[in-house]
Structure 1
Amino acid sequence: MQIQTVLTGMGGSHIRSFISSGMVAIKEREVTQADVARVIETAKAVNIPTDQQILHVLPQEFIVDGQEDVREPLGMSGVRLETRVHIVTGAVSAAQNIVKCVRRCGLEVQDLMLQPLASSMAVLTEDEKELGVVLIDIGGGTTDIAVFTGGAIRHTAVIPIAGDQITNDIAMALRTPTPDAEEIKIRHGVAKQVLADPHAKIDVPGIGERDPRTLSKQALAAVIEPRLEELFLMVQQVLRESGYEELLSSGVVLTGGTSLMPGIAELGEDIFMKPVRIGVPDYAGGLADMVRTPRFATAMGLLHEARAQHLRGRRVASQGGGLKQTVQKMKEWFLGNF
């Protein structure tokens, strides 16, 4: 079996989202799949900037003759069908660059998917989405936010602070090269100063011909904690402005590589005043030790969605088998190309 097409994640500060609505008359006095498709089309018929393209049109609810909060309108009787949808857009140039990059690897892009939406498929439970939860995906360049309540995605946002900014802070504060700062962050970083061993020391390489130095882990934590606090406070402000801050009964789920840092969940609980857990992909097959990490939340979510599309009869990268087989094929492809 050869992989030919891929479902690709997309994120970044260019991502935009907004709410739209649409309404149609129910032709046969009973809602059909055609009616649902038509009302979604009317909701997505909005003006967007020419440099943006629609990535997702995500239904939040349907309304049949004034009856709100309908999740599945098929078969219901009525004369008017309405919907509220969450529309996500991304930069056309960013999408084109992703497609070009994938094609240079000998593959074709089947579809583009918002990264936090993909991550949510791998790390969130249906109960969490129902009761209210915010997913915070802390990547390298940006932090992606996705809010779920009532089983549907309600709000998305992007914050331009993430793991790379923490690395840069370490490089500047400790006067060490950026690659060494990244390694120090991964090996020795903790999110709260009180969790750092005051007697533990780390070797810090110097810049250029300068000699390496020895610093305490607490000195490192003193650099990391303020940046993470700033990030979480910015997320809190986004939640407050969106109106969903008080509707998150399931709390906060952190994912992405930075979420592996010891103490980050505790710091999150201090700031959000809500339960915080680390989101790990739900997968128990072969290679589980390799992929059951927050670093691969988006990738595993994309695989889940690709398999779901296949089961719905759509053409996707894998033409047979389940998620375990798809993971194995992806491993073989990476080993053969890198």
Structure 2
Amino acid sequence: MQGTEKIIVGLDIGTTKITAVVGEMLEDEINIIGVGSHPSTGLRKGIVVNIESTVDSIKKAVEEAELMAGCDISSVYAGIAGNHIKGLNSHGLIAIKGREITAQDVERVIDAAKSVAIPADREIVHVIPQEFIVDDMESIQNPVGMTAIRLEANIHIVTGAVSSARNIVKCCNKADLEVCDIALESLASGEAVLTNEEKELGCVVADMGGGTTDLALFKDNNLKFIYTLTLGGHNLTNDISIGLRTPLPEAEKIKIEHGTCAQDNVKNGETIEVPGVGGRSPKKLSKKILSEILEPRVEEIFSLLKKELFSNGLENSFPAGFVLTGGSVILDGITELAESVFNVPVRIGEPNKIGGLKDIVKNPAYATGVGLVLLGSEASCKMNFQDVPTHGFAGLSNKIKLWFKNII
């Protein structure tokens, strides 16, 4: 290993598991050199509800990643998710008065666009410039040096609950880790699984985790829309547990080994063994019963996502289709069911743009962790993130200044 300055660690703090992914920065790619994962019991629907349990899980996931990577981990890029995350679009305008646009003008117009009323219990996680408008010329990505009368900016602001972000930082600090920055998990997942063509044309990523399903719409190479649905893999496991009358741990195993949400794919006579409750003997049931439990719930999740997209007028904004990722997309027939609901092409998204142990992380469950490594590498190279280890929301103006330096 050539130095810790080339090591980037992404920490995915999820509802059902905590994953640490270690990446080594090379000149032309990121090599994954270590992965650690441990069950998570201290979160509910993406929000920390038990500090000590979360700290313990973080320590164990990081220790496992350290052993595999052969290095000590002292800092991480942490993900944030949950239904407290909200996104809004904003517009800003300033006068240029016929001169050339400068770096300071871009900073001023972004400041104007982000000057919106935000409740005291919320803070800005990301400010993502969408486009600049120079007089009547739209879709300008870099207006510096252009002559104009006025300059406008459209930005997307992602906000989150202050307490939720601070609890994530606190858990990491208690695990002897510094937080280089906090990033939106659905943004990280999109970075890991989408192609450049999909992000340009318009594509939706649905990250189905244990406690939530995080949706993110990318178009014109920018994040356009986010939404969190508080339904996920844990709901599927709970449905199996109730429907088949089996303990939750056994229901989780059945979901992983036999889960299907396509009744037509189940062959006649196929059975599964269901462990009993309270020492009762196991029983054999038709696999069709399992599909009858899972298919309606998965269809409900997709229908609610569709309703949210359509109610925001985005029904024609994702011609490149849907990409499903996250640990809960392992179900047989899930892509076919999604296609029937959304009427667009659907595929399972696995991390790409990486080298090293890519066979290990080539799994939808590692999308967020790998995405955080990729975002962290951009931060290290281009300083897109602020470098404040104690508070994930601090230094927003510095973020904008550093972002601007990278586009000129």
Q: Which residue of 2 aligns with 1:137?
A: 207
Name the SS of the counterpart of 2:152 in structure 1.
strand
Q: Please tell me the residue identity of whatever aligns with 2:306.
A: Q
**Whole-Å separation in 2 of the counterparts to 1:125 and 1:180:** 37
For these two proteins, the number of residue pairs brought into alignment is 317
Q: If each structure's helix is expressed as a fraction of its own residues, which one has the higher value?
A: 1
Structure 1: unaligned runs, 5 residues or longer: 318-338
> 1:7-64 CA distances to partner (integer Å, 9 max, x unpaired)?
1110011111111111123378222222212211111121111111110111111111
**Whole-Å separation in 1 of the counterparts to 2:75 and 2:108:** 29
Please say if 1:211 is aligned against 2:316.
no
**Whole-Å separation in 2 of the counterparts to 1:180 and 1:210:** 13
Q: Which residue of 2 aligns with 1:128?
A: 198
* 1:64–1:294 distance in 2 versus 1, CA, 3 Å: same
Q: Please tell me the residue identity of whatever aligns with 2:325.
A: T
Q: 1:224 aligns with which of 283, 294, 297?
A: 294
Q: Which residue of 1 aligns with 2:60?
A: none
Q: 2:116 aligns with which of 43, 46, 60?
A: 46
Counterpart mapping for 1:193-212 below 5 A? 193-212=263-282
* 1:316–1:69 distance in 2 versus 1, CA, 3 Å: closer
**Whole-Å separation in 1 of the counterparts to 2:125 and 2:209:** 20
Q: 1:33 aligns with which of 86, 91, 103?
A: 103
Q: 1:73 aligns with which of 143, 147, 150?
A: 143
> 1:299-325 CA distances to partner (integer Å, 9 max, x unpaired)?
1111001111111157899xxxxxxxx
Name the SS of the counterpart of 2:374 in structure 1.
helix
Q: 1:246 aligns with which of 316, 325, 335?
A: 316
Please say if 1:95 is aligned against 2:165.
yes
Deviation of 1:169 after TM superposition, in Å, equals 0.5
**Whole-Å separation in 1 of the counterparts to 2:326 and 2:383:** 31
**Whole-Å separation in 1 of the counterparts to 2:382 and 2:167:** 29
> 1:281-308 CA distances to partner (integer Å, 9 max, x unpaired)?
1045221111111101111111001111
Counterpart mapping for 1:1-338 below 5 A? 1=4, 2-26=72-96, 29-313=99-383
Name the SS of the counterpart of 2:355 in structure 1.
coil
* 1:204–1:122 distance in 2 versus 1, CA, 3 Å: same
Runs of 4+ in 1 over 4 A off after TM superposition: 313-317
> 1:247-286 CA distances to partner (integer Å, 9 max, x unpaired)?
2110111110111222111111111111001111104522
- Normalised by the size of structure 1, how large is the TM-score? 0.90
Q: Which residue of 2 aligns with 1:325?
A: none
* 1:56–1:314 distance in 2 versus 1, CA, 3 Å: closer
**Whole-Å separation in 2 of the counterparts to 1:130 and 1:186:** 34
**Does the Cα contact within 8 Å between 1:5 and 1:316 map onto a contact in 2?**
no
Name the SS of the counterpart of 2:320 in structure 1.
coil
Name the SS of the counterpart of 1:221 in structure 2.
helix
Deviation of 1:178 after TM superposition, in Å, equals 0.7
Deviation of 1:103 after TM superposition, in Å, equals 0.8
Deviation of 1:3 after TM superposition, in Å, equals 3.2
**Whole-Å separation in 2 of the counterparts to 1:315 and 1:38:** 19
> 1:197-219 CA distances to partner (integer Å, 9 max, x unpaired)?
33221111112132221112111
Name the SS of the counterpart of 2:167 in structure 1.
helix
Identity among equivalent pairs (%): 47
Q: Which residue of 2 aligns with 1:332?
A: none
Deviation of 1:106 after TM superposition, in Å, equals 0.8
- Normalised by the size of structure 2, how large is the TM-score? 0.75
**Whole-Å separation in 2 of the counterparts to 1:154 and 1:315:** 19
Deviation of 1:132 after TM superposition, in Å, equals 1.1
Deviation of 1:134 after TM superposition, in Å, equals 0.8
Name the SS of the counterpart of 1:81 in structure 2.
strand
**Whole-Å separation in 2 of the counterparts to 1:246 and 1:31:** 34
Deviation of 1:154 after TM superposition, in Å, equals 1.2
Range with bigger deviation, 241-250 or 115-124:
241-250
Name the SS of the counterpart of 1:39 in structure 2.
helix
Deviation of 1:138 after TM superposition, in Å, equals 0.5
**Does the Cα contact within 8 Å between 2:97 and 2:148 map onto a contact in 1?**
no
